[in-house]
Amino acid sequence: MKVLVTVKRVIDPYVKVRVKSDGTGVETANVKMAMNPFCEIAIEQAVRMKEAGVVTEIVAVSIGAPQCQETLRTAMAMGADRGILVETGTADMQPLAVAKLVKAIIDKEQPKLVIMGKQAIDDDANQTGQMVSALLGWPQSAFTSGITVNGDTADVTREIDGGLEKLTIKLPAVITTDLRLNEPRYVTLPNIMKAKKKPLETLKPEALGVDVTPRLKTLKVEEPPKRSAGVKVADVKELVAKLKNEARVI
């Protein structure tokens, strides 16, 4: 079966983001970028399913600036077979527009399973997978930590607030990945070289007939209030005294 996986290019999760002084956003110029960690888990899952013989082809899709090609090459170095980039003019791509573009590609590619990260660590929206699923009228398994495909259904385990949930969903379906689904592999140099030869198609949103006009206007972006510096205590006795007499929380 064919699997479609989406990958997003984001600021490297280990980089400390800086809010722009004019309050229009965060600084992205000359900042290290990387594949969104949950998208790495999505690719890894598809590759493992291919290695297990469940999946025959993995199509990686990214949406955004031309530099997203690098993210797609990383996906292909991990094991995706080919890449599709929807090159957008605007940097402000919001989840609904992204979901519509992904749906348009799914309509063309007809995968049986779509694997997406549960959230991107830049806008922290946690929407796109569920939206794609709704636009298609497909079932979803959001925050997935386990998946077993059985013909035309899949048994999934989902992370919920109090523990785990088990569902059986009909295929085709969209699943979004949670942390414990797998541990993504490191890409190796030979695979990076091989990935350069894999096909990468570039499309424009207009070609897919999708209006990507943002619905939310960002009025300002600011730094959160800082916590004032704390006090170092010498030992447990002093800590307890502070908690009882100063903070009065116990």
Partner 1 sequence: MSILVIAEHDGKQLKPGTTNTVTAAAKIGGDITVLVAGQQCADAAQTAAKIAGIKKVLLADAPQYAGGVAENIAALVLTIASQYTHILAPATGFGKNFMPRVAAALDVQQISEISAVVSADTFVRPIYAGNALATVQSADKVKVITVRATGFDAAAEDGSAAVENLAAGPDTGLAKFNGQELSKSDRPELTAARIIVSGGRGMGSGENFKILEALADKLGAAVGASRAAVDSGFVPNDYQVGQTGKIVAPELYIAVGISGAIQHLAGMKDSKVIIAINKDPEAPIFAVADYWLEEDLFKAVPELTQELG
Looking only at residues 47 through 66 of this chain, which bind partner 1 when binding is defined by CB under 8 A? none
Q: Which stretch binds partner 1 (CB under 8 A): 54-62, 67-75, 106-114, 165-173?
A: 165-173
> Which residues between 71 and 130 bind partner 1 (CB under 8 A)?
94-96, 99, 118-119, 121-130
Contact between 196 and partner 1 by CB under 8 A: the answer reads no
> Which residues between 217 and 236 bind partner 1 (CB under 8 A)?
217-224, 227, 229-233, 235-236
Q: What angle do CA 93, 127, 2 make, to 5 degrees?
A: 90
Q: What is the largest CA-CA distance in the chain?
A: 68
Report the relative pairing of strands 163-170 and 153-160 from DSSP bridges.
Answer: antiparallel
Contact between 247 and partner 1 by CB under 8 A: the answer reads yes
Given a contact cutoff of 8 angstroms between Cβ atoms, the answer to whether 157 and 144 are in contact is: yes
Q: What type of residue is 47?
A: V
What single DSSP character describes residue 184? P
Number of amino acids touching partner 1 (CB under 8 A): 79
Closest separation in Å from C-beta 175 to partner 1: 11
Q: Which of 108, 170, 194, 196 binds partner 1 (CB under 8 A)?
A: 170
- How many Cα neighbours within 13 Å face the side chain of 239? 5
CA–CA distances in Å: residue 126 to residues 23, 30, 101: 24, 26, 17
Contact between 243 and partner 1 by CB under 8 A: the answer reads yes
Contact between 207 and partner 1 by CB under 8 A: the answer reads no
